[in-house]
Homo-oligomer: A and B are copies of this chain.
């Protein structure tokens, strides 16, 4: 069965849909092929008691303009992530309660932390968003992990612990897995560590009433039958006549293709001719982070009653990060938490065990009521066949400097989107939209607009 389209987009996550929307607006004939039976990629919203909750990406920051415009255009509403009240820090097996942004640790750690944040703020601005590998100090920064950089440059155990917590929360991977150059690039892409880490004024400032998957659903609805579900792409063949995209026995012919998948998944498609070495090896070198997201709903927000915001972070125990996840109308009280990095892999494929551990950790953080939720659900992203991890691809040492130039460079008629290819807000909804629009512009130019 053969179909024709001017442009085929692979992947109906935010990036692929944004690319398709842009091309359609410019008058092009587009098909979007999606492996799953749903759109939205790493966003996924589902009914949960009296609410719809997000099992995937859920937060929007104040300067994520494309995302906010899309929210407005779709007639959606945002509401603030609740953060008022005391926060919990589990550090070295000990429970501490604090207010504000930086948790209570020893004075030396606070001073070192302040110095480190100032220094990181300076360093990240040296990293080019267009070509991180061209930054003056790129080689050295890409030759080590964030963990080894911290070992040398953050001379206080408490400060290191806080940075490790922030890293796991932001990247869903271990500090040992991250190139220090990638860490700085990502910070710069999002406007700084504190903006990535914070609720108020930061990347976790607001949620979308009714769930973030509505962003994808809204774009997909406008694209109508151009979006084909249940069509995992197995091969992309280019020749003088154009491109042939195959999904099982189905086949689409197109002039251009946009692959809107993370590099690790893009690398699993069979290409003919084979991808150039630089591009193929890049896809081997950007593994996905790992996060399992768990939500527990309660009859009432018992933590608020005791003055807690519901926010907690931990440097030990497998539950690394918790937020209040109560519905926008307040009718459904809930907490959301994450297993991140190596902890996520440890509990992947073990639903009963992770539920038990999750509730146990919540109880340690907020009190014994946490053990008896009215509802519970979780999402094991690393085990998801069409995601194989989240939130985002992770650049290890040597990857940007050796393979970065292949990240956005088209291969013949095949273009690359996905939030991993974004300049601004790489890894976020905003980056997904930017990357999709950038790929659409490339394609529009190539089609001779």
Contacts and interface: CB of A to CB of B under 8 A. Distances in A.
Interface in A339-381: 341-342, 344-345, 348-349, 380
B142 A402 contact: no
A145 B345 CA distance: 22
Interface centre among A148, A270, A384 (most CB of B within 10 A): A148
Interface string A314-358: 000000000000000000000000000110110011000000000
A401 B145 CA distance: 15
B402 A349 contact: no
Given A143-B176, A144-B147, A147-B143, A348 B402 contact: no
Given A148-B148, A234-B234, A281-B389, A398 B274 contact: no
Interface in A257-281: 264, 267-268, 270, 274, 276-278, 280-281
A398 B176 contact: yes
Contacts of A149: 148
A396 interface: yes
A284 B397 contact: no
A270 B247 CA distance: 13
A151 interface: yes
Interface in A141-189: 142-145, 147-149, 151-152, 173-177
A402 B174 contact: yes
A388 B348 contact: no
Given A145-B144, A145-B397, A284-B264, A402 B177 contact: yes
A383 interface: yes
A342 to B, nearest CB: 4
A402 to B, nearest CB: 4
A25 to B, nearest CB: 34
A382 interface: yes
A175 to B, nearest CB: 7
A173 B173 CA distance: 23
A256 interface: no
A281 B343 CA distance: 13
A396 B396 CA distance: 7
A445 interface: no
A290 interface: yes
A438 interface: no
Interface in A382-399: 382-385, 388-389, 396-399
Contacts of A147: 143-144, 397
Nearest to A396: B396
A287 interface: yes
Contacts of A398: 145, 173-174, 176-177, 342, 396
Contact of A388 (B152, B281, B345, B388): B281
A195 interface: no
Given A174-B398, A341-B402, 5 more contacts: A143-B151, A177-B398, A277-B349, A277-B389, A285-B287
Contacts of A176: 139, 142-144, 397-398, 401
A345 B276 CA distance: 9
A290 B264 CA distance: 18
Contacts of A268: 267-268, 270
Contacts of A228: none
A403 B388 CA distance: 14
B144 A277 contact: no
B274 A143 contact: no
A385 B274 contact: yes
A288 interface: yes
A403 B345 contact: yes
Contacts of A173: 398
Contacts of A341: 402
28 contacts: A143-B147, A143-B174, A143-B176, A145-B145, A145-B398, A148-B148, A148-B149, A152-B152, A174-B402, A176-B401, A177-B396, A177-B397, A177-B402, A234-B234, A268-B268, A276-B383, A277-B290, A277-B344, A277-B348, A277-B380, A278-B348, A281-B290, A284-B284, A284-B287, A284-B389, A341-B402, A342-B401, A342-B402
Interface in A117-156: 139, 142-145, 147-149, 151-152
